[in-house]
Chains A and B, each alone.
Chain A
Amino acid sequence: MENLEHILGEHPFFQGLKHEHLHLLVGCASNVRFDAGQYILREGAEANTFYLVRFGKVALEMGTPNKGPMIIETIGEGDLLGWSWLVPPYTWHFDARAMELTRAISIDGKCLRRKIDNDHELGYEFLRRFSDLMVKRFDATRLQLMDVYGNRA
């Protein structure tokens, strides 16, 4: 457990989080591994977990008609996977597939939702971190949508 607390505290997403909050989180966390090719999340399934990737690489994919799955983003060491556990209706909007052997800390969203409902300071810390992440991902998505490498016509 102490080891898990240490790993959580080292992860960029939780840097600066108070010791007591880390301690609360550990109760909802566990170590997981995924082999290359293994699906971590499936679109439409209930979203009750999120993952802090420790190493490896994960592809976020969406099915496209006639063409098969398209990779919309890859994430790796130090990244966070999944925020659908935070907002109703708690379902995944994409598939996530390990592209290589991937190790991560999985955090039980239901367990965490209960804890942040009871501890608003922890809730604030979480939302602050998630908003920061969402802004970064939105910026990146906007840049992607602009298709800057296409013809200027």
Chain B
Amino acid sequence: METAPDLQSISAEAALSPMLPRPFVIKRVRRETEDTFTLELEPTGRDDGFSFTPGQFNMVYVFGVGEIPISISGDPARPTTLIHTTRAVGTVTKAMDKLRRGDTLGIRGPYGSPWPLDKAVGRDVVFVAGGIGLAPLRPALYHVVSNRERFGKVVLLYGTRSPADILFREELETWRARFDLDVYVTVDRAMSGWRGNVGVVTTMIPKAPFDPRNAVAMVCGPEIMMRFTAAEMIKRGVDIRDVSVSLERNMKCGIGLCGHCQFGPVFVCKDGPVFPYAQVRDMLVKWEI
């Protein structure tokens, strides 16, 4: 018979060991699309919230099933609630999808490198997201929107598979309505009633309203999409050193101990997941790595 985890003792030990998860309770579940959902979580027993930097991830443990890396998708200025947006693709994510309000998850983190928002101050910022890749970029968008006066033009280019797969629709509408943000959404395929754009996200780069000589690009999505996007950015005139990507590799420890996430000479969990494109470009085209 399964026994429920002793949350109090786990919580106390978690403070001591980086390998022990802290229990968080689900306060709200929001369905984003058919296969993607957002969980709002709060730590049990303590109310010290959860501070993080945009781009960072947590190791999320579904008790008895497994532990996986998931980026934080909430607002860094509101650390009281921890937010994760996840696409159900396999064993752990599908088990996560079945959890409901009041259920508990184990959290280790936050881990990993942030989006280079400091470098973007005073410059144009271009976010390029593909599919679920909008979730890891959302904290950086929140930050830029809350500190709007510190940045030049702010552009979001977002591509998904179909209109039904668009994440955070209401927020996208709100951002699109602002005069100081340029939000463009495109889908790979659509039926005739769709009134938006159809075409891959990279086709929006040549016309997007930013100054390539003074722009910083943050790109998150499937690896192939990021490669094509980075190439298009560089072609437009953006310095390769100003393009960042967020990589995904299978992880176990999340803290640079086990080597599971090794990618050439780097560990994605510790040195990434956000990397300057210049650092990883050559490795991304070698499928043997």
Contact = CB atoms under 8 A, between A and B. Distances in A.
Interface string B186-208: 10111110111111101100010
A148 B202 contact: no
A144 interface: yes
B109 interface: no
B192 A140 contact: no
The winner among B195, B197, B199 for most chain A CB atoms within 10 A is: B199
B131 A149 contact: yes
Which secondary structure dominates where chain A touches chain B?
mixed
Interface string A49-79: 0000000010101000001111111101110
Nearest to A60: B198
B221 A140 contact: no
Interface in A97-135: 99
Contacts of A77: 207
The winner among B159, B160, B195, B196 for most chain A CB atoms within 10 A is: B195
Given A143-B224, A150-B161, A74 B130 contact: no
A19 B194 CA distance: 41
Contact of B161 (A67, A69, A73, A147): A147
A149 B202 CA distance: 14
Given A67-B191, A147-B188, A72 B198 contact: yes
A144 to B, nearest CB: 5
The winner among A61, A74, A139, A143 for most chain B CB atoms within 10 A is: A143
Given A140-B200, A149-B161, A70 B89 contact: no
Interface in B204-253: 207, 221-222, 224-225, 228
Contacts of A69: 191-192
A149 B165 contact: yes
Given A143-B224, A152-B89, A71 B190 contact: yes
Contacts of B207: 77-78
B225 A148 contact: yes
Contacts of A152: 89
Contacts of A59: 192, 198
A57 B190 CA distance: 15
A151 B161 CA distance: 11
A144 B191 contact: no
Contact of A70 (B159, B190, B195, B222): B190
Contacts of B197: 57, 74, 76
6 contacts: A61-B192, A70-B190, A136-B203, A139-B228, A149-B161, A149-B225
Given A70-B190, A140-B200, 20 more contacts: A57-B197, A59-B192, A59-B198, A61-B192, A68-B191, A69-B191, A71-B190, A71-B191, A71-B192, A71-B198, A74-B196, A78-B207, A99-B195, A136-B203, A139-B228, A140-B199, A140-B203, A146-B224, A148-B221, A149-B222
Which 7 pairs from chain A and chain B are nearest by CB? A149-B131, A149-B161, A69-B192, A148-B222, A71-B198, A143-B200, A74-B198
